[in-house]
């Protein structure tokens, strides 16, 4: 399968780390986000949303990062990271939908304000961050509550839900995500997630670079 992606973006980091966790082989087709290549005709032909990533597997095209992880886990037959048990799978699917509809948009505000804008020579707007504060803490408390019960989101084993939920926080320091009041979430992110080989292999650092700073 081919993954059209820019590894520096949240949803591409998610898919590349997730595919590594799953053990699915892929070929990366680099689409440069900061050069806006996702808006060019060649890319729009495979993804009319002009958003990254997109998977091409033979004649099958798939966009939506979480759908790509679900497909890859099923195709590979990796039931450990995407279990087939009815309730466990429904639970994971619920977190994937929550991540896409609620969690990513909230975390993204901090990424845009504290990372993207300063990088492009603009300033973070404290009013925009303040306006997101209540929503972020509401959502983070929901995830924190779940993570107070288990090591991983869906129990004692890492699943694709963990990768999806962590991806919008992958630059949490630079992003200045207010995590201190969410100790279970912070423990999960900074020890469990950041200890995963698939996460370490796909690390992105301050400045949106794959080069580890000295
Ligand atoms: N729900 C989509 C969201 C994809 C998305 O928003 N991707 C961002 C990068 S993380 C993007 O390409 N945005 C396009 C742009 O800003 O021009 C998914 O999970 O794949």
The CATH number of the domain holding residue 70 is 3.40.30.10
CB 170 within 8 A of CB 13: yes
pLDDT in tens, 51-101: 999 999 999 999 999 999 999 999 999 999 999 999 999 999 999 999 999
Structural domains counted in the chain: 2
Does 153 reside within a domain? yes
Q: Is 11 in the pocket of ligand 1 (CB under 6 A)?
A: yes
Q: What is the CATH number of the domain that holds 176?
A: 1.20.1050.10
Residue closest by Cα to atom 2 of ligand 1: 64
Q: Is 47 in the pocket of ligand 1 (CB under 6 A)?
A: no
Domain boundary pick from 45, 76, 107: 76
Does 206 reside within a domain? no
99 and 69 both lie in a single domain: no
Kindly state the average pLDDT of the residues 134-162.
Answer: 97
68 and 93 both lie in a single domain: no
Domain boundary pick from 25, 58, 76: 76
Domain boundary pick from 52, 76, 100: 76
pLDDT in tens, 102-117: 999 999 999 999 999 9
Q: Where are the alpha helices (DSSP H) in the chain?
A: 10-22, 41-44, 65-76, 86-98, 104-111, 117-119, 126-147, 160-166, 172-175, 183-187, 197-201
Does 207 reside within a domain? no
The residue range of the domain holding 193 is 86-201
**pTM above 0.95?**
yes
Q: 7, 11, 14, 171: which to mutate for ligand 1, most atoms within 8 A of CB?
A: 11
140 and 60 both lie in a single domain: no
Could you tell me the distance, in angstroms and rounded to a whole number, from the CA of residue 198 to the centre of ligand 1?
21
107 and 173 both lie in a single domain: yes
Cα–Cα distance, 163 to 72 (Å, whole number): 14
Could you tell me the distance, in angstroms and rounded to a whole number, from the CA of residue 156 to the centre of ligand 1?
30
165 and 111 both lie in a single domain: yes
């Amino acid at each position: 399968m081919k993954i059209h992606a820019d590894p520096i973006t949240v949803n591409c980091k998610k898919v590349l780390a997730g595919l590594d966790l799953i053990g699915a082989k892929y070929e990366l087709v680099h689409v440069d986000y900061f050069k806006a290549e996702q808006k060019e005709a060649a890319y729009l032909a495979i993804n009319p949303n002009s958003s990254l990533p997109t998977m091409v597997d033979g004649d099958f095209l798939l966009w939506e990062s979480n759908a790509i992880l679900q497909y890859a886990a099923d195709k590979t037959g990796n039931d450990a990271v995407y279990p087939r048990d009815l309730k466990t799978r429904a639970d994971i699917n619920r977190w994937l939908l929550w991540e896409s509809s609620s969690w990513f948009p909230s975390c993204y505000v901090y990424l845009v304000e504290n990372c993207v804008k300063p990088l492009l020579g603009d300033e973070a707007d404290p009013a925009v961050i303040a306006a997101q504060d209540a929503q972020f803490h509401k959502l983070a408390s929901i995830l924190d509550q779940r993570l107070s019960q288990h090591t991983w989101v869906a129990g004692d084993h890492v699943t694709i839900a963990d990768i999806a939920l962590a991806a919008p926080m992958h630059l949490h320091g630079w992003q200045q995500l207010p995590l201190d009041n969410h100790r279970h979430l912070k423990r999960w992110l900074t020890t469990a997630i950041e200890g995963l080989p698939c996460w370490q292999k796909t690390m992105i650092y301050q400045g949106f670079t794959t080069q580890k700073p000295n």
